[in-house]
Structure 1
Amino acid sequence: MVRKVTLIATAAMGLESVVANEVKQLGYEDIEVENGRVTIQADISAIPRLNLWLRTADRVKLQVGKFKAYSFDELFEQTKALPWEQFIPENGEFPVIGKSVKSKLYSVPDCQSIVKKAIVERLKQKHGVASWLKEDGAFYRTEVAIHKDTVLLSIDTSGSGLHKRGYRTGQGEAPLKETLAAALVQLTNWRPDRPFVDPFCGSGTIAIEAALIGQNIAPGFNREFASEEWEFIPGEMWEQAFNEAEELADYDQPLDITGSDIDHRMIEIAKANAMEAGLGELVQWKQRQVKDFRPKQENGYVVSNPPYGERIGEKEEVEQMYKDLGDIMADNPSWSVYILTSHPTFEKLYGQKASKKRKLFNGFIKTDYYQFFGKK
């Protein structure tokens, strides 16, 4: 039986260190951080645990092999030499997807079909199948990724991307991915006993992720994963991982989290999403304009992804909101403020230079994460 595996937690650009930190907190030390990924050497029990607990990774992939290939023959032979039968059973369904960047083997459809053929040959040989493979069993989405002639072959353990937590019943026009929302919270030094406000909450993603973090609720607790069906991972490993998540959740931790938005429809959607996430009335939702926000306590946190003013006719309105927020927060110097925006003159409009800035991508939009630390 397979025990040790190489896993890859994929990450959006700029979030690799956040994902690496989460992996370490789960107790995995043998890791390597690269662009867009964190590679982990671990026992197979890490597959359920990483899928359940990683808040900021996009997916968890199982690396089957890595090698150089400059010709289709090399690709075929080296793929066929890998121990696919340890992972994919005789009836496993394994579509092959692919990508190729700066490599001699640049035709993705050709690479996909060669990898598929090589795996089929290997499985038929090892499982003793003379005709074709049925492929009516569990799902093993396989990927061939070639970068500068280095081939990486992996199987996706997650199924749907990890940002799909299972609580989003509705969303606005430009929804923030749950994984990025969780990262925005984790990049602050907010603690669950401090007030937390998102004054431009939209469908509520940042506030909901903050509540899940605050009560230490595993983000994948409410969903299913492709690898739950895999034969080589014993069912009790999944059971243990879900039990651990249940035991570590701190449902009694009181939270003071508020999401507000000018649009009452978004507030209704946010409420429904929070209910679906199992948070009940834990987060307070308010319809209000940002200029009506008045912090009542000290040492709170504002974490938000406001409109960027990129839509026609929106610019002046958005710039006024930035100014309003800056004025309010100037009167509350003990509060820390974290704002994600692509607006080039945000600091000027806000009226203060950020203590720190971090480049992040919101989808394909290049943004800055402005961090203003409160005076303690």
Structure 2
Amino acid sequence: MNQNLTFIATAAMGLESVVANEVKDLGYEQVTVENGKVFFQADTKAIPRCNLWLRTADRLKLCVGEFEAKSYDELFEQTKALPWEQFIPEDGEFPVIGKSVKSKLYSVPDCQKIVKKAIVEKLKQKHGIAKWLKETGAFYRVEVALLKDKVTLTIDTSGTGLHKRGYRVGQGDAPLKETLAAALVQLTNWTPDKPLYDLFCGSGTIPIEAALIGQNIAPGFNRSFVSEEWDLLSAKMWEEALEEAEDLANYDQPLTIFGTDIDHKMISISQDNALEAGLGDLVQWKQMQATDFSVEEEGGYVISNPPYGERIGDKKEVELLYKKLGTVLSKYPTWSIYMLTANENFENCFGSKATKKRKLFNGFIKTDFYQYFGRNHSKS
């Protein structure tokens, strides 16, 4: 099946434009953006390509249909009218999950049951089955999402969320999601020929994602996806997508990327994660205090997710750290500094107003991405 289908790349709040740019970079031009979603048109080959390449999306969903429904009868009939048999085989396993926001059909369990029943009826009709569906085959997770009476029905193509790259063998207490770490790098204009430091590297997510970006390695290269088992996609499609990823990787690209942390245990975890990611010694790790930062290079990038000081006892200590860090980093006016924090007093403590600020969410925590452009910072 090479017809045009509608896909939704889901995104964390504030990252929709980043995800949309990634989709366009893969060659898909019919892109529209909504809160938390990037819609685009593509053929079935987009399923392996997008799952392999999207660095900042949470999931890739196949949109089976959208319509308005204000009654359960409308929900049933319009769901049944959709071409489910094109995607789900007669033995496909298809649990239905759901959510409802500001909709007349507010009972999520009822919506799930009705959608399930409608799909069962359609598949029985199309596959010529009189009694029941076995559901012993490949997995197709259906979602019914209602927003102000608009119904969106999707099938998840990813399985485990796309942030699960497969390299994290260890982590700290509050690890940064891989998709957000990749976005932090992509929201800068860092290029692989420039040095990059993360002074609070934790389990190493920002430096590892930067290295993957720097060598153009597909983030999903070392993991599997639920849609690999689907009849809709041939093994050849997956092979071609993997071959493309291998051909586009630039393993010879030299990189100067450092991850530092005050905790030697986190440095050890970072090293293990980098090895699992196939990066070997590509990233350099060092135990040190962030305020001991010292470099000779004329221009580079610091991209970090420092502690926020959310607990009352920690706040003063963290704000003192920001102050010391501002003093140290002010000695390098040609360097560009990027800091993600939920602490609203960051600029005052750091000692200067950011060139730009961007609102992002670290999980459920509302944060700001403070951007300080160095003297030689390219605006491209």
TM-score (norm 1): 0.99
Deviations 1:88-128 (A, max 9, x none): 00100000000000000000000000000000000001011
Alignment of 1:267-346 (within 5 A): 267-346=267-346
Work out the CA distance in 2 between the residues paired with 1:344 and 1:127: 58
Deviation at 1:41, TM superposition (A): 0.5
- Counterpart of 1:262? 262
Alignment of 1:94-133 (within 5 A): 94-133=94-133
Work out the CA distance in 1 between the residues paired with 2:342 and 2:216: 31
Say if 1:290 and 1:324, in contact at 8 Å, map to a contact too: no
Work out the CA distance in 1 between the residues paired with 2:127 and 2:190: 53
- Counterpart of 1:245? 245
Alignment of 1:33-182 (within 5 A): 33-182=33-182
Deviation at 1:307, TM superposition (A): 0.4
Which stretch has the larger CA shift, 317-326 or 133-142?
A: 317-326
Work out the CA distance in 2 between the residues paired with 1:180 and 1:80: 37
Work out the CA distance in 1 between the residues paired with 2:160 and 2:12: 16
Unaligned runs of 5+ in 1: none
Deviations 1:163-209 (A, max 9, x none): 00000111111111000000000000000000000000000000100
Work out the CA distance in 2 between the residues paired with 1:173 and 1:105: 39
Work out the CA distance in 2 between the residues paired with 1:318 and 1:275: 31
- Counterpart of 2:363? 363
Deviation at 1:232, TM superposition (A): 1.2
Say if 1:2 and 1:232, in contact at 8 Å, map to a contact too: no
AA paired with 1:285?
A: W
Deviation at 1:312, TM superposition (A): 4.3
SS at match of 2:180: helix
SS at match of 1:280: coil
- Counterpart of 1:29? 29
AA paired with 1:289?
A: Q
Deviation at 1:292, TM superposition (A): 1.1
SS at match of 1:38: strand
Work out the CA distance in 2 between the residues paired with 1:5 and 1:229: 19
Deviations 1:211-243 (A, max 9, x none): 000000000001000111110112111110000
Work out the CA distance in 2 between the residues paired with 1:285 and 1:315: 27
Deviations 1:282-333 (A, max 9, x none): 0001000111111221111000000001124222221122112111111100
Q: Which runs of 4+ in 1 moved over 2 A?
A: none
Deviations 1:25-75 (A, max 9, x none): 111101111111110111110111111000000000000010000000110
AA paired with 2:13?
A: M
Work out the CA distance in 2 between the residues paired with 1:146 and 1:34: 14
Work out the CA distance in 1 between the residues paired with 2:326 and 2:298: 17
AA paired with 1:124?
A: K
Deviations 1:144-164 (A, max 9, x none): 000000000000000000000
Work out the CA distance in 2 between the residues paired with 1:311 and 1:261: 20
SS at match of 1:62: strand
Count of residue pairs the alignment pairs up:
376
- Counterpart of 2:211? 211
Work out the CA distance in 2 between the residues paired with 1:323 and 1:187: 24
- Counterpart of 1:231? 231
- Counterpart of 1:353? 353
AA paired with 2:220?
A: G
SS at match of 2:307: coil
AA paired with 1:290?
A: A
- Percent of aligned pairs sharing the same letter: 73
Work out the CA distance in 1 between the residues paired with 2:317 and 2:203: 20
SS at match of 1:121: helix
AA paired with 2:129?
A: V
Work out the CA distance in 1 between the residues paired with 2:2 and 2:256: 45
Work out the CA distance in 1 between the residues paired with 2:311 and 2:271: 26
Work out the CA distance in 2 between the residues paired with 1:369 and 1:33: 21
TM-score (norm 2): 0.98
AA paired with 2:338?
A: Y
